[in-house]
Structure 1
Amino acid sequence: MSNYPKVAVVILNWNGKYFLEKFLPSVFNSTYPNIEFIIGDNGSTDDSVSYVEENFPMFKILRNTENLGFSGGYNEILKRVEAEYYVLLNSDVEVSEGWVEPVIAQMEKDPLLAACQPKVQSYHNKGEFEHAGAAGGYLDYFGFPFCRGRILDKVEQDHGQYNDAREVFWATGAALFIKAKAWQDAEGFDSDFFAHFEEIDLCWRLKKMGYKVGYCPNSLVYHVGGGTLKTSNPQKTYLNFRNNLLMMQKNLSVPAAIWKISLRLWLDFFALIKFLVDGKSADAWAVSRGHQYFFKNFFKTAKKRKKYSAQENKKGQYKNSIIWDYYMNNIHKFSQLKDKNFH
């Protein structure tokens, strides 16, 4: 056992009995020798905790007294977890056999590899990449995230085209492996994000500290996720638009932040107009609320900016606009992007 670093798989739960019933068996069948299973409950009001206590007594339960969101919830739970590696695993994820070992092996080989993700396929369409993570995350010149295997709303089938382990810019929070020391060095998630973009912000801060973020194709998980939902979700719209701006303000240099955020505000305004034209007034209002929060909390966010002694690792940043490439150059697959346009 001493030859294997301790891994804590931590599933954050909020009223998620349905997913726990469905996916805890696959997690429990993990074969890694030195592993601890933890349910971090975020103030659930259903009977999900009692279900775990009765059916999976081997899972340790740590409780928050209220729903602190994805970011705040994990921040509080992980303060009480002792392990060399944390695995932040969504409750709506089914894991495959031997999913832990290859990621840990890859991370153990490189002291600078602080975070890593497995390959993420869709649970409902196995063989197709899943929207939130796919084969590793990237960030374009204007702060728009995309993935190997997913650009905007275009998701690719997995034909083995992204089966090479490589460094990426961000790793999905749906199945995030991270070294405990790196988590602590970066001070975890930004709790103000609540949900959405918190893992991208964390990975960006890690890279500003000189760390690496990776993708491991030899590990496979299946995510139910919400990327394929067609119905309007104004709260998700609000968090996505708001947190993207917060992330840019925190991590870009001051000159770059000034002009890039100014441009993003205009692009967001066009998105607001499109929501109105499409009859999605609640989403349009969500964009406006996101901007209001950004300006009201401008100085609070500015205080979170930090100077790092290490040279920033820009690997995985795209030098062009993925939005322009998608709509004007008809690029819908990651493989169509030129390597020379990446850091």
Structure 2
Amino acid sequence: MVKLSVVVLNWNGKQYLNNCLGSLSKQNYKDFEVILVDNGSTDGSVDYVRKNFPKARVIENKKNLGFTIGNNIGIEKSKGRYVFILNNDTKLDKSCLKELVNVMDSNKKIGMVSAKMLFFDSNKVDTLGLKVLKWGFTEDIKKAEQIPFCPCGGAAFYRKAMLEDTKLDDDYFDSDYFIYADDYDLGFRARLRGWDCRLADKAIVYHLHGATMSKETDKQIYLGDRNRIWTIIKNYPNGLLAKCSIHLTLLQIASIIKYTIEGKPLLILKSKIDALKLLNKKLKQRKIIQSRKKIKNGELEKLFEGYYQDEKDSTL
């Protein structure tokens, strides 16, 4: 039984796989398996992996099932106690896996670890994980002294026990999301259950940001807004929801104004209408999530907008 499973989701990303899988083969940590989940690629990705990286376990989906379902399949098939969700457009430093494992091993309360993601062509920080703003948005953390609310899904290291503990409707990532805000939703559920998150600042991942999907496409705007609404509905506890209601309302108004100015009023309205179409389902999920909640609202609120290593260490 391996200790770690690395799940790489791929959709027509053959040109990235040599960097990604090649860097995995050069790791100085060896107790891991690689699972490549292919979402119906037509560029020869599967044949390329089987020929050049025969140790990787390949799972072929007949069509593009999205980030959420694709990774859920990989997690379900994983054998490790830890699971590393990794974008295909990445390259790992040779000590990356070792550093991630060391941080996760340091305390059983840690259910999530963020890698240090740098832009591929420079040493500038892409993200050190996600912080949550009071109005429901997430932002990338850029400073190492902040502890992330949860990892970015591009390089998210999870304890398998945490994934099982937060599983909902047989999903790890919410399959309704397809892509975007799924890492935020999973991280929120984990935080509500009392799981902690840490940054492994020596676990370096180089990321060709935007290679798999460009920024601010119509699809990104639509899915990001819709999924963010679902995440808020499902996860914000009653007291915190009331306390942040003004911020959350202003967010909805501001998003409509912003995209109306940009000439996309129908797109942003569609995202909100479609979010409401599954309101009953998300409210049922909310009931389950909130019934499992362990963290106090005051403790949860302290996690918003980042918090600092020195403040948190004493609680572990």
In the alignment, which of 262, 265, 272 is matched to residue 291 of structure 1? 272
Task: Give CA-to-partner distance per residue, 1:242-293, whole Å, 9 cap, x none.
Answer: 1111000000123543674675354333333333333x43xx3321111011
Q: Check the 8 A contact 2:135/2:251 in 1, yes or no.
A: no
Specify the alignment match of 2:102 in structure 1: 105
Local SS of the residue matching 1:191: coil
Task: State the Cα RMSD in Å.
Answer: 2.5
1:300 is the counterpart of 2:300:
no
Specify the alignment match of 1:141 in structure 2: 134
1:254 is the counterpart of 2:238:
yes
Specify the alignment match of 1:155 in structure 2: none
Aligned length: 298
Quick one: distance in 1 between partners of 2:268 and 2:246? 15
Quick one: distance in 1 between partners of 2:214 and 2:58? 34
Task: Give CA-to-partner distance per residue, 1:2-36, whole Å, 9 cap, x none.
Answer: 9xx61111101111111113432112211212111
Q: Check the 8 A contact 1:235/1:286 in 2, yes or no.
A: no
Which of the pair is proportionally richer in helix?
A: 2
Specify the alignment match of 1:322 in structure 2: none
Task: Give CA-to-partner distance per residue, 1:198-236, whole Å, 9 cap, x none.
Answer: 111111111111110111101111111229x98750100
Quick one: distance in 2 between partners of 1:297 and 1:259? 24
Percentage of identical aligned residues: 26
1:240 is the counterpart of 2:224:
yes
Q: Check the 8 A contact 1:249/1:261 in 2, yes or no.
A: no
TM-aligned CA distance change 1:231 to 1:135, over 3 Å? closer
Quick one: distance in 2 between partners of 1:231 and 1:63? 27
Unaligned runs of 5+ in 2: 312-316
Specify the alignment match of 1:331 in structure 2: none
TM-score by length of 1: 0.80
Q: Check the 8 A contact 1:246/1:301 in 2, yes or no.
A: yes
TM-aligned CA distance change 1:291 to 1:262, over 3 Å? farther
Quick one: distance in 2 between partners of 1:87 and 1:250? 25
Q: Check the 8 A contact 2:8/2:35 in 1, yes or no.
A: yes
TM-aligned CA distance change 1:240 to 1:98, over 3 Å? same
1:127 is the counterpart of 2:123:
yes
| Worse-superposed segment, 58-67 or 265-274 | 265-274
Specify the alignment match of 2:10 in structure 1: 13
Q: CA deviation at 1:66?
A: 2.5
Task: Give CA-to-partner distance per residue, 1:52-103, whole Å, 9 cap, x none.
Answer: 1111111111122332210111112221111111110000111112111111
TM-aligned CA distance change 1:34 to 1:230, over 3 Å? closer
Counterparts in 2 of 1:54-203, with a 5 A limit?
54-124=51-121, 126-130=122-126, 134-149=127-142, 162=144, 164=145, 167-187=147-167, 188-203=172-187
TM-aligned CA distance change 1:232 to 1:208, over 3 Å? closer
Residue type at the aligned position of 1:56: F
TM-aligned CA distance change 1:274 to 1:311, over 3 Å? closer
Quick one: distance in 2 between partners of 1:14 and 1:90? 10
Unaligned runs of 5+ in 1: 150-160, 320-333
TM-aligned CA distance change 1:292 to 1:75, over 3 Å? same
TM-score by length of 2: 0.86
Q: Check the 8 A contact 1:63/1:77 in 2, yes or no.
A: no
Specify the alignment match of 1:41 in structure 2: 38
In the alignment, which of 296, 303, 311 is matched to residue 316 of structure 1? 303
